[in-house]
Copies of this chain bind each other. A is one copy, B any other.
Amino acid sequence: MNKIPYKIYLSEEEMPKQWHNIKADMKEVPEPFVNPATGEYCTPEDLAPVFCEDLISQEFNTTDKYIDIPQEIQDFYKMFRPSPLIRAYNLEKALGTPAKIYYKFEGTNTSGSHKLNSAAAQVYYAKKQGLTHLTTETGAGQWGTALAMACAFYDVDLTVYMVKVSAEQKPYRKGVIETYGGKVIPSPSDTTEIGRKILAKNPGTGGSLGCAISEAMEVAAKTENCRYVLGSVLNHVVLHQSIIGMETKIACEKYDIKPDIIIGCAGGGSNLGGLISPFMADKINGKNDIQFIAVEPASCPSLTRGKFALDFGDTGQTTPLMRMYTLGSGFMPSPNHSGGLRFHGMSPIVSKLYHDKYMDAVAVEQTSVFAAASVFAKTEGTLPAPESSHAIRVAIDEALKCKETGEDKTIIFGLTGTGYFDLAAYMSYNEGTMTDSIPTEEDLQRGFDTLPKI
């Protein structure tokens, strides 16, 4: 066995040359998109006006277990990958746990998160198709930054609809996106029909991912040579994020690390889906018995309190329907929640795996998340993103359970990003002014009332 270093970096030669398509391993694959007008399954052709061709092909692919990463994308990945798998020795010591804690750290690039894995791929395919302009939404700002970086690299124009409350909490995110040449519009805005409609109905809204998606899609449909790209939820995004899980699995095999628990935060579900992907395939095929845990905010609890139903991906109800755990496209998470993870639905892949009982889910409150983030920052050095800190919270909780039982479980969690643009939230936590907000049953019902009747 190789001696395990504090931080495991794969060599360039060891880096994965293929993505892992978990759908090819699933006993039942997620249902295809449904056209809300007809109730029929969508065809690839139906999606072509909105999405890039190669991405649509990946979206529908349920048979190829591995998909080659084009050399150009591999070259882009080399700019910021491999990411390290780090043993959290200092956190373990501070907790006094016999558990072994590892984290896969995706935050060493300027976008500050794993989002660049899919941005690099999506912009490459857009450029390949001859597109000159992309639109997207961003919540916490990590996806918008990642996409701006990729668009700068491939010389493609970009317009980013940024959830208004995030734009206000993180003014400098706008600055970094603009430095990479992207245009930022706080959402809801008066630049789209759907934005004007939402503003008329609820002028004081802080916005939501679902609403920003509607605006970005509307502009993409109306602009020549332009498509819409999405940073999470969809199958092809989970596919690109499987690079995280592939690297993690190679590192585990190289050093004979056998995880008992793998934990990821879940907003749209792409980071979690990508991290667990190859491990989950083995579980489905009876080769391991890993416990997978999705961690979501108590303020936006799609897995733990949502319904497994056909729903729109956006607040404007313009997308095809996806079968997923959802709070209803009309659900508006409380603006006091400081992280991303504010999406009403959940990746159909993650939803299906959860529905079929291959994984667990827990919801955590933000003050307990920031408490975990502070402990992590002080012991492990890195200041984590609030989103990632949801996973830290549960990793700590599981490690503390091990302390009680004396078990030396091996825990791996995804540290998806850094919190350098989240200092306003940290300052609110430090000053004791941060509060929690859990939707009431009535809040949830208002969301469920917006589910399509199909």
Chain A interface residues (CB < 8 Å from chain B): 5-7, 9, 11-12, 78-80, 90, 108-110, 112, 149, 152-153, 172, 174-176, 178-181, 374, 377-383, 418, 420-421, 423-424, 426-427, 430
Contacts and interface: CB of A to CB of B under 8 A. Distances in A.
A79 B11 CA distance: 19
A86 to B, nearest CB: 8
Contacts of A78: 5-7
A395 to B, nearest CB: 18
A5 B80 CA distance: 12
B381 A80 contact: yes
Copies in the complex: 2
Contact of A378 (B7, B180, B424): B180
Contacts of A12: 5-6
A421 B9 CA distance: 27
A152 B378 contact: yes
What are the 9 closest A-B residue pairs judged by CB atoms, nearest first?
Answer: A172-B423, A175-B423, A420-B420, A152-B378, A6-B78, A175-B427, A5-B12, A110-B383, A79-B381
A179 B430 contact: yes
Nearest to A9: B9
A424 B173 CA distance: 11
A377 B180 contact: yes
14 contacts: A6-B79, A79-B381, A90-B153, A110-B377, A110-B383, A152-B377, A152-B378, A153-B379, A172-B423, A172-B424, A175-B424, A179-B423, A180-B378, A420-B421
A149 B378 CA distance: 7
Contact of A178 (B174, B380, B427): B427
Given A79-B380, A149-B381, A152-B378, A179 B426 contact: yes
Contacts of A423: 172, 175-176, 179
Main secondary structure of the interface of A (DSSP, over half): helix
A90 B153 CA distance: 9
A394 B113 CA distance: 30
Contact of A382 (B9, B110, B174, B377): B110
A432 B7 CA distance: 42
Given A5-B12, A423-B172, A430 B178 contact: yes
B424 A383 contact: no
A393 B78 CA distance: 24
A374 B175 CA distance: 12
Contacts of A6: 12, 78-79
A383 B178 CA distance: 12
Given A6-B12, A7-B78, A420-B420, A378 B181 contact: yes
A135 B144 CA distance: 39
Contact of A383 (B79, B80, B176, B181): B176
A193 to B, nearest CB: 30
Nearest to A152: B378
Contact of A176 (B11, B379, B426): B426
B79 A110 contact: no
Contacts of A380: 79
Contacts of A174: 427
Given A12-B6, A110-B418, A381-B80, A374 B426 contact: no
Contacts of A418: 110
Nearest to A380: B79
A180 B384 CA distance: 12
Contacts of A175: 423-424, 426-427, 430
Contacts of A108: 108
Contacts of A153: 90, 378-379, 381
A12 to B, nearest CB: 4
